[in-house]
Structure 1
Amino acid sequence: MKTFRLVAISLVHGEEVEQLDLQDGLIINREYGKENWLIEALLPKSEPEKYEEFRDKEEMLHVQATISKPTNDPASFEAVVRQVAVMEDKMSILFEGELFRKNTNYHEKLLERLVNEGYNGDELVEAFKNKVKEKPVLEKSK
């Protein structure tokens, strides 16, 4: 097993990215088959029932996790909530999931989308740089 520090975590809902208010966290590569990972996120106690519902329904979530340092690109996971531990003013959410690979055409699709939105010239270059820095939302591979 390999353990890393979790520095940011988001839930992706289609085109929407919900950045979670991470207070602390770990991510563990269990190193056996299917790239199985555990992600533990310590969050402020807010909406524990939402995560309990995800857990109870075993809903597959698209999770983006930034590992080790904030400047790293996030890794994308298909994960389920395995445990919700509610404390006095915090909660711990344990996700279990599989790493999924970036769509290799991501940059091409991003550029195409920006051109379709009307960007061109220097404005296009700046918009492209900003979107890439935003930590890209990756498409689910199914």
Structure 2
Amino acid sequence: MKTFKLVALSIVHGENVEKLELIDGLIINREYGKENWLIEILLPKIDPEKFQSILDNKETVNVQATISKPSNDPASFEVVIRNVAVMEDRMSILFEGELFRRNNNYPEKLLETLMENGFNGEDLLQAFKEKINEKPVLQKSK
């Protein structure tokens, strides 16, 4: 197993990325042959019901984790919540899941989508710069 410091975590909702207010976090590569990871985060006690509902409904969630230092590109994971622990003013969430890899033709697909949505000229360039840095989940690793 390999353990890393988690410096940022975001939940991906389709085209939208929700950055969580991370107090602390850790990510563990369990090295089971498949890309099996544990992610534990400590958050302020804000909306614990949302995370409990995801756990109760056994929903799959896409997240982006930035490991070791803020300047690293985020890695994308498909996870389920294994535990929600609510404390006095904080909460701990334990995720388990698999690493995803970005599709190699992502920039082309993004550009095509933006053009289909009516972007052109300087607006196209600005939208492309913003979206390319969001690095959404696109393709599961093999």
Q: TM-score, normalised by structure 1?
A: 0.88
Alignment of 1:124-135 (within 5 A): 124-133=124-133, 135=134
After alignment, is 34-43 or 124-133 more displaced?
124-133
Aligned match of 1:139: 138
After alignment, is 26-35 or 111-120 more displaced?
111-120
Displacement, 1:15? 1.5
Aligned match of 1:96: 96
CA distances 1:68-112 after superposition (whole Å, capped 9, x unpaired) = 111211111110000111111000000000001112221111111
After alignment, is 78-87 or 110-119 more displaced?
110-119
Q: Flag the 1:15–1:124 CA change in 2: closer, same or farther, 3 A.
A: closer
Task: Report the 3-state secondary structure (helix = DSSP H, G, I; strand = E; otherwise coil) of the residue aligned with 1:73.
Answer: coil
Q: Percent identity?
A: 66
The 1-side partners of 2:72 and 2:82 are apart by 26
Q: Does 1:78 align with 2:82?
A: no
Aligned match of 2:57: 57
The 1-side partners of 2:118 and 2:73 are apart by 27
State the one-letter code of the partner of 1:21: E
The 2-side partners of 1:32 and 1:109 are apart by 32
Alignment of 1:1-142 (within 5 A): 1-133=1-133, 135-139=134-138, 141=140
Contact kept? 2:10, 2:64, Cα under 8 Å = yes
Contact kept? 1:106, 1:138, Cα under 8 Å = no
The 1-side partners of 2:57 and 2:128 are apart by 38
Contact kept? 1:42, 1:91, Cα under 8 Å = yes
Task: Report the 3-state secondary structure (helix = DSSP H, G, I; strand = E; otherwise coil) of the residue aligned with 2:11.
Answer: strand
Displacement, 1:122? 5.0
Q: TM-score, normalised by structure 2?
A: 0.88
Contact kept? 2:101, 2:138, Cα under 8 Å = no
The 2-side partners of 1:137 and 1:106 are apart by 9
Displacement, 1:33? 2.1
Displacement, 1:141? 4.3
**Structure 2: stretches of 5+ with no match in the other structure:** none
